[in-house]
């Protein structure tokens, strides 16, 4: 009994071998699976395939091949909506610059605010909740101005004194010094000490009735500065109205 089982097993193995190799195709007993020739014939566009690491160090596919390959991958599926023209082969675009980029900004300023006006301006700007550094309210100190002064003159005295100064080649300009009135300035200085020295120099040149006077006292004012404002930010600041105290924004120097 065991002998017959062994012979049946051998016959079954032999039959499977002949059937799997297609030797029984003549009698209609070939396997249904496709063999190599059928697989090659059923390939879809094999020419677009490129080996990145082929034999002998093959070069990578050219840009044209990559585009063709990409288009092949994106061939529309039947029934699917077509892709927009040029979408399949289009390279990835770089980042798009956001609106209000640095190239759209400019520096603007307004000046001459008093201390109280500067406080009101700071309060109004702080409500805008802009990033730090978007605006500054800066203190500006103006030093006093001193002159070597001759006056007070009426029109006739002014004309006569101008003639005398031209004769001795002394330069001058008309001024109206507070608490002094209309007159002539024979020199302008940033400190009283410098003006006193200037008076001594003019006395040696023949000037007799001049004196030192303060044309403008030292003062403190405040400037608004927008270092890099977009057009929208500029318009928003200009719309503040009262806090700007009627002062226009001008391009920075």
Task: Please list, in sequence order, all residues whose beta carbon lies within 8 angstroms of the beta carbon of residue 14, skipping any fewer than 6 positions away.
Answer: none
pLDDT digits (tens, 9 = 90+) for 43-60: 777 776 666 665 554 455
- The span from the CA of 173 to the CA of 148, in Å, is 11
Please check whether residues 200 and 110 belong to one and the same domain.
no
**Which of 39 and 238 is assigned the larger pLDDT?**
238
- The answer on 228 and 129 residing in a single domain is yes
Give the residue-averaged pLDDT of 53-76: 48
**Same domain? 117 vs 204:** no
Q: What is the pLDDT of residues 161-177, one digit of tens each?
A: 999 999 999 999 999 99
> What is the side-by-side order of every strand in the sheet holding 219-229?
136-142, 219-229, 106-113, 250-251
Which pLDDT belongs to residue 241? 87
Is residue 225 situated within a structural domain?
Answer: yes
pLDDT score for 55: 53
Give the highest mean pLDDT range of 26-30, 31-35, 92-96, 164-168: 164-168
pLDDT reported for residue 18: 73
Residues 154 and 209 in one domain: yes
Cβ(179)–Cβ(211) below 8 Å? no
User: Is 235 within a domain?
Assistant: yes
Same domain, 181 and 195: yes
pLDDT for position 53: 62
The larger pLDDT score, comparing residue 17 to residue 73, is at 17
Does 99 or 31 have the greater pLDDT score?
A: 31
pLDDT tens column, 208-224? 899 999 998 888 999 99
Helices within the chain (DSSP H only): 2-20, 36-41, 63-73, 115-126, 155-167, 192-203, 231-238
- Domain housing 185: 144-217
User: Is the residue at 131 inside a domain?
Assistant: yes
What is the structure's pLDDT at 215? 92
Q: Do 213 and 152 have their domain in common?
A: yes
Verify that 127 and 228 share a domain, yes or no: yes
Q: Which residue has the higher pLDDT, 95 or 44?
A: 44
- Angle at CA of residue 192, ends 187 and 197, nearest 5°: 60
Residue 46 included in any domain: no
Domain identity same for 226 and 137 = yes
Q: What is the CA radius of gyration of the chain?
A: 48
Contact call for residues 20 and 31 (beta carbons, < 8 A): yes
Q: Is residue 124 a part of any domain in this protein? A: yes
Domain membership flag for residue 180: yes
Residues 125 and 181 in one domain: no
pLDDT at 4: 78
Same domain, 150 and 211: yes
CATH number of the domain enclosing 185: 3.30.70
Query: Residues 195, 241: one domain?
Result: no
136 domain residue, yes or no: yes
150 backbone dihedrals φ, ψ, rounded to 5°: -125, 130
pLDDT per residue as tens digits for the range 102-114: 558 999 999 999 9
Q: What percent of the chain has pLDDT over 70?
A: 68
Q: What is the number of domains present in the chain?
A: 2
Whether residue 213 is found in the same domain as residue 194: yes
């Amino acid at each position: 009994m065991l002998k017959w089982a062994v012979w049946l097993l051998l016959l079954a193995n032999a039959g499977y071998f002949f059937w799997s190799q297609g030797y029984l195709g003549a009698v209609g007993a070939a396997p249904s699976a496709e063999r190599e020739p059928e697989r090659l014939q059923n390939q879809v566009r094999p020419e677009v395939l490129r080996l990145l690491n082929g034999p002998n160090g093959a070069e990578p596919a050219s840009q044209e091949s990559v585009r063709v390959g990409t288009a092949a991958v994106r061939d529309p599926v039947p029934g699917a909506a077509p892709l927009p023209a040029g979408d399949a082969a289009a390279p990835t675009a770089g980042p798009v610059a956001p609106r209000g980029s640095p190239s759209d900004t400019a520096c603007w300023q307004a000046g001459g605010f008093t201390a109280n006006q500067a406080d009101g301006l700071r309060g109004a700007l702080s409500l805008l909740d802009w990033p730090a550094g978007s605006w500054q309210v800066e203190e500006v100190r103006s030093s006093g101005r001193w002159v070597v002064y001759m006056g007070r003159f009426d029109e006739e005295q002014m004309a006569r004194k101008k003639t005398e100064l031209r004769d001795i080649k002394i330069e001058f300009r008309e001024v109206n010094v507070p608490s002094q009135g209309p007159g002539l300035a024979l020199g302008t200085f940033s400190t009283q000490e410098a003006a006193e020295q200037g008076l001594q120099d003019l006395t040696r040149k023949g000037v007799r009735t001049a004196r030192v006077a303060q044309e403008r006292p030292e003062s403190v004012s405040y400037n608004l500065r927008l270092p890099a404002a977009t057009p929208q930010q500029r318009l928003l600041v200009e719309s503040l109205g009262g806090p700007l105290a009627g002062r226009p924004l001008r391009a920075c120097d």
